[in-house]
Amino acid sequence: MRIKNLIIYYPSFESGGVERIIKNLIKFFISKGIKIFLITSNKQNLKIIKKNKNLKIITIKNNYHPYLPKRISSSINSIKYLYRLLIKMNKSDTIVHSMQSNFIPIIISKILNFKVVIRNSEDSIESIKYSENKFFSYFIFLLRFIFYNFADFIVTNSKGSAKSLEIFVFNKKKISHIYNPYLTEEMVKKSKIKFKKKNIVMTAGRLTIQKNFIFLIDAFKRSSLIKKGYILNIFGKGYLEKKIKSKIKSEKLNNSVFLKGWSNDLTNEYKKSKIFVLPSLYEGLGNVLIEAINYGAFSIATNCKSGPSEILMNGKGGPIVPINDTIFLAKTLDDISINNKFAQKKLNIAKKNLKRFNYKSQSQKYFNLLNDVLSK
């Protein structure tokens, strides 16, 4: 049975890499004549998607609960919207694809006997290890242990993320990775326009413990790059903004390290930066790393158990440095600033292997998978 209706569940719509992934998936599935129902809390983020008769955005009216995170509140508020939609659908040609807060769609889909495929976007074990709230993380892990086993299929965005799920999902055959359908033809086309590189190191992401920007600042200070006139630009917003600003001030780095805020389009920043660093404690994949390579920034990443090392092909496309090893990262930054030929060789290898993240080829894998699950 071929899919006629696809329900994409993403209740707390957030800017970032997943926003691009959802837009690409919607664009691809609409091209296949499939009707899309997107359940989300913020359709403003999707305004660049052209209006289409096969796309219906169901906007959740959020009444945020005072003692719960916004994402959980959005999930709770979404229950009635998903339920009302499914009871109108034909279960033989409709499938649910959950991309966030997977417990709700699993429960509702199973109650109403619909097929549900969920997406897991992080390393489930490492996210607990480095969590700021251990109690909450273990609670979420318990819910995953219980409910993920009832999903019809689980898609992850990297091999490492898939492996982390094997610890608690009994049926290993219903776990598989599909790399993010991320790079569009427009992004590849823009990457061919050359910018003159400047003495800039950059990074991007939410200002959280996971992204580990304090570690990058320490390594940057320890390196010789400041003496060579390099600056470090950090793009992002988050709850650690005050702490990072305080760090920059206390280390007297106001003229060398800059918090640049959030931007939906960092294309020109990648193009003019010589070096991009992803210093994360853990990742699912690392979309900003894909962007950096695409736009010609030599890239370095930490040795997360999933994601970045796959993008950089275990070091063939760029150095992999140990997490929180300030001396190692500082030395790597110094080596790269001296050996331009080595850096360019690594970058060329990384760029040649970005086809794995092409939006059409990976969206086709999603299409094949969802049809396969529905037909069983």
Please tell me the predicted confidence (pLDDT) of residue 259.
Answer: 97
pLDDT in tens, the chain (376 residues): 689 999 999 988 766 678 889 989 999 999 999 999 999 886 665 555 667 889 999 988 866 666 666 777 778 888 999 999 999 999 999 999 999 889 999 999 999 999 999 999 888 888 888 887 888 888 888 989 999 999 999 999 999 999 999 999 999 999 999 999 999 999 999 998 888 899 999 999 999 999 999 999 999 999 999 999 999 999 999 999 999 999 999 999 999 999 999 888 899 999 999 999 999 999 999 999 999 999 999 999 999 988 999 999 999 999 999 999 999 999 999 999 998 888 999 999 999 999 999 999 999 999 999 999 999 8
Q: What pLDDT, on a 0 to 100 scale, did the predictor assign at position 12?
A: 80
What class is the 5-181+358-375 domain? alpha beta
Phi, psi (rounded to 5 degrees) for 56:
-125, 120
The residue to which tokens 């210093």 are assigned: 279
DSSP 211: T
What are 345's strand-pairing partners?
none
Residue 227's pLDDT is 96
Determine whether domain 185-356 maps to CATH 3.40.50.2000: yes
Pairing of strands 115-120, 257-261: unpaired
Strand order in the sheet with 257-261: 257-261, 231-235, 198-204, 273-278, 298-302, 320-321
Q: Where are the domains of the chain?
A: 5-181+358-375, 185-356
Q: How many CB atoms lie within 10 A of CB 244?
A: 18
- Helical H segments across the chain, by residue range: 17-31, 70-86, 103-111, 126-129, 134-147, 159-165, 185-191, 213-222, 241-250, 267-272, 287-294, 308-311, 326-338, 340-352, 359-375
